[in-house]
Amino acid sequence: MGRPTESSTLTNSLTVRDNRTGKVYDVPIVDNSIQATAFKAMTAPAAPGEREENETYKGLRVADKGFLNTAVIRSEITYIDGDAGVLRYRGYPIEQLALHSSHLETAYLLIYGTLPTKPQLSVFEAEVSHHGVIHADAEQFCRSFRYDAHPMAILTSAFSYLGSYYGEANPSLQGQSLYTKGDAASLSIMDKQIYRLIGKATTLAAMAYRVRQGREFVTPPTGLSYTGSFLYQMDHLGEENYTPNPVLEKALDVLFLLHADHELNASATTVLQTGSSLVDPYSAIAAGCASLYGPLHGGANEAVIRMLISIGKPENVPAFIEAVKKREKVLSGFGHRVYKTSDPRSFIVRKTADEVFKITGKDELLETAMALHEAAMKDEYFVKRKLAPNVDFCSGLIYRAMGFPLDFFPVLFAVPRVVGWLAHWRQMMLQEGGVKIWRPRQIFVGASKRDYVPIEARPLVDGPKKTPSAIAHSGITKRTMLASFKGKVVPKL
Ligand code: ACO
C-alpha cells in the first residue's frame, strides 16, 4: 500500500511524488503490477477553484476508460502475448491443442487446470453428454419467439430461463456462499452446473436453429462427439443412422476449441462482473452471452460476411479501404485490443477452412476476402496501427461454406465460449480471500448541487443529445393518429 516516505527503501517499488503536497510515496510492485488502492492514500487539499466532486481529500482515483491497463483478477487460465501472437491455455500453445486435443478435453483443461487422463476425460464427456437433455417445456419457451428472432436473442434468454429450473443451484435461494465455500458439497454443486451449462449449450443453440427452420426438436443423441451431437441436433430429419460428415464435425470441433477461451475479453469480464454479485451461474452466462453478441466482439464474424457481401467483388476493395480510412466504414475482422500482430488462431482457422472447402467447395466471397486481406496488410493506415486479421476474419467464411445462416455465426462463437466463461467464473468463486463485488469508480463531471426549479421558471434547454429526439413513426401510427375515436385520450405528440 502506498504510504508517505522520505526515500525509497524498496527496490521493487514505484516512488511517487505528489506535487500537490510534496509528499513522496512508495508503492510496492508485485508481479509487475501496482495496487490501484495505493493511490487512494494520496490525499490533498482541494486546489483553489477545484470542484468538490473531485474529492481530493479522499485520495487519487485511477482512470482507465475501456480497461486499457487494469488487471482485475489473478488468473491461471489463459495467457496472451499480443505482440508476439502467442495464445496458451493453461500453458499449452493453442497450435498444439488444435492439432492434438478436442473441444471437451480442452474444456476440462481450461476449467480444472490439467489435461485429463483417459478415465477422467470419459467421465467428463459422459456427464456433459448426459446433461445435454432439456426439460420438454423448453420447447414452448423456444417456440414463443417470433419466426425471425435473432438466434442470439433466443440463446441469451434461454440461459437465463434454464436457471429457473435449478433452485438448488441458486445462491439467492440457498445462501450466498453456495459456490465460494470450496468444500466437497459446494464443489459438487458447482461442477453439476458446469456439466449442465456445457451440455445444454448445444441443445439450446440447436433449438434456436430449428425454431427458425420450422423443424421439430431433436433429443440429444448418444455416442457422438460434442460437435457431432450438435450437428445431429440441428440437421437430423428422421433419417435412419444419420451421421454428420466427419470432416465438418472435426472442423467445428477445432473452431470450438479455438473459441473456448480468450482471457479477459468483454464477455468473460461481463461474466465475472455479473458473477461478482454471487448471482447464479445461469444468469452470469446469460450476461456473457449478451455481451458477446455485440459487433465489436462475437458479432464480428457475422459483420465480416455482411461487409464482404456489401463489397461484392475484389475490384471494389480499394474503394472500401479508402472508405475505412476516411472512417466511413469499419474493416470488421481486423484489429484487436490485445493482438498487435496476426491473431494466432487466424492461421489455424485458415487451415481448417481449406479442409472444409475441399468438401463443400469454396465460398464465393473468398476472393474478395483475400483481396481485402492483401490490401489491408500492405496499407500504411493498417500497418501503422498494427491492425491484422483476427479470428473472425475467416471463421465466417467456413460457417457460410458449412451452410449456417449468417445470424447463427455468433451462436457458433457463444456455445464454445461457455467453457471459458465457466473456467473464469469457477476460478473467481474459488479464489483465495473470497469474491469481492466488482464496483468500479467514476469521475463525476456532472452538475454540482443545484436547487429544483419550478416548471414555469425553467430556462429552455434544447438541442441534440440534450433533449429527447423527434422519432419517426410507422405508417400505422400515422394512420391511427389521423383517426378519431371515443373512450381513449389521444396523446399529443
Ligand atoms: N478498421 C479500421 N480502423 C480500425 C479498426 C478496424 N477494424 N480497428 C481499429 N481501428 C483503428 C481505430 O480507429 C484507431 O485509430 P486512431 O488511433 O486513428 O483513432 C486505432 O485503429 C486503434 O483502435 P482502437 O479502436 O483504439 O482499438 P480497440 O482496442 O479499442 O478496439 C476492436 C479493438 C474493437 C477489436 C477494434 O479493432 C475493432 O472495432 N475491430 C473490428 C471489429 C472486430 O473485428 N471485432 C472482433 C474482435 S476479436 C473477437 O472478439 C473475437
d(CA 195, CA 199): 6
Mean pLDDT, the chain, integer: 94
| 13-18: strand order across its sheet | 3-5, 23-28, 13-18
Q: What is the mean pLDDT of residues 153-177?
A: 96
Residue 50 covered by a domain: yes
Do residues 286 and 160 make contact, with C-beta atoms less than 8 angstroms apart? yes
The 10s digit of each residue's pLDDT in 291-346 is: 999 988 888 888 899 999 999 999 999 999 999 999 999 999 999 888 888 889 99
Distance 334 CA to ligand 1 centre (A): 7
Q: Are 226 and 200 in contact (CB under 8 A)?
A: no
pLDDT at 490 (0 to 100): 59
Check if the beta carbon of residue 5 is closer than 8 Å to that of residue 25.
yes
Domain encompassing residue 16: 3-58
Helix axes 409-429, 246-259, angle to 10 degrees: 50
Atom of ligand 1 nearest to the CA of 324: 2
What mean pLDDT is predicted for residues 42-66? Answer: 95
All cell numbers assigned to 41: 492514500
The alpha carbon of 488 and the centre of ligand 1 are apart by a number of angstroms equal to 50
* Cα–Cα distance, 301 to 417 (Å, whole number): 14
For residue 297, indicate whether it is catalytic.
Answer: no
List, edge to edge, every strand of the sheet that includes 86-89: 78-81, 86-89, 92-93
Please state, in angstroms and rounded to a whole number, the distance separating the CA atoms of residues 216 and 129.
20
Considering the domain boundaries, does residue 389 fall inside one?
no
Residue 487 has pLDDT above 90, yes or no: no
- State the distance from the centre of ligand 1 to the C-alpha of 378, rounded, in angstroms: 17
**pLDDT class for 3, splitting at 50, 70, 90?**
low
Give residue 335 CA to ligand 1 midpoint distance, Å: 5
Residue 9 pLDDT > 70, yes or no? no
Q: How many domains does the chain have?
A: 1
Within its chain, how far is the Cα of 202 from the centroid? 17
Regarding predicted confidence, which is higher, 147 or 246?
246
- Best of 261, 325, 387 to mutate for ligand 1, by most ligand atoms within 8 A of CB? 387
Handedness of CA 392, 396, 397, 401 (dihedral sign): positive
**How many whole angstroms from 331 Cα to the centroid of ligand 1?**
8
Is residue 122 in a domain?
A: no
pLDDT (0 to 100) of residue 281: 98
Give the mean model confidence (pLDDT) for residues 461-467: 92
Q: Above 80 in pLDDT, residue 491?
A: no
What cell numbers appear for 134 in the block? 432439456
Active-site residue, from 131, 236, 297, 336: 336
Residue 362 lies in a domain: no
Residue 10 lies in a domain: yes
Is residue 116 exposed (0-12), middle (13-18) or buried (19+ Cβ within 10 Å)?
A: middle
pLDDT per residue over 61-106, tens digit each? 999 999 999 999 999 999 999 999 999 999 999 999 999 999 999 9
Residue 290 within a domain: no
Q: Whose CA is nearest to atom 30 of ligand 1?
A: 337
Looking at residue 489, what DSSP letter applies? P
- Band (pLDDT 50/70/90 cuts) for residue 458 is very high
Q: Taking Cα atoms as reference points, which of 304, 351, 356 lies closest to residue 330?
A: 304
Give the closest residue (by CA) to ligand 1 atom 26.
337
Residue 441 lies in a domain: no
Q: Whose CA is nearest to atom 28 of ligand 1?
A: 337
pLDDT in tens, 234-258: 999 999 999 999 999 999 999 999 9
Question: What pLDDT is attached to residue 5?
Answer: 61
Whether 424 is catalytic is no
The rounded percent of the chain whose pLDDT value lies above 90 is 85
pLDDT computed for residue 365 by the predictor: 92
Radius of gyration of the chain (CA): 26
DSSP per residue, 281-301: HHHHHHHHHHHHTSTTTTTHH
Residues with CB under 6 A from ligand 1: 265, 296-298, 300, 324, 330-337, 385, 387, 390-392
Dihedral angle of Cα 187, 189, 194, 200, to the nearest 10 degrees:
170
Residue 384 host element (H or E): helix 380-384
